Amino acid sequence: QVQLVESGGGLVQAGGSLRLSCVVSGITFSIYTMGWGWYRQAPGKQRELVADITSGGTTNYADSVKGRFTISRDNAKRTVFLQMNSLEPEDTAVYYCNAVRRTVGFDFWGQGTQVTVSS
């Protein structure tokens, strides 16, 4: 049974930092072939891509987080991270981890972790 477990969310003041983690278990293929993404959904808004990282390590960021957030992966730990610095109230949302390997039709989501940034 595939599971994605996120952690690291919480309440922080504007200008602060948080580090989100997401660990995968139960996959039957190599972790090295999998891509990861972090998405977020604020109240009343659509879910949006924050950052993603390919199996080869190429990263991509939403314009709103460039220079503040960093996505990284540790294949040995089967984990993806999202380092969030200089947080703003507009970053308040539920953050979701996504794991994909489209060649085999694998697309799995975590349960989400709340990030709240106070002004």
Query: Which pLDDT belongs to residue 31?
Result: 87
Identify the DSSP state of 88: -
Residue 72 phi/psi, 5° resolution? -150, 165
Query: Which pLDDT belongs to residue 28?
Result: 85
Per the structure block, which two tokens stand in for 103? 């060649």
Segment 71-98, tens digit of pLDDT: 999 999 999 999 999 999 999 999 999 9
Residue 114: half-sphere exposure toward Cβ, Cα within 13 Å: 5
Ranges of the chain with pLDDT below 70: none
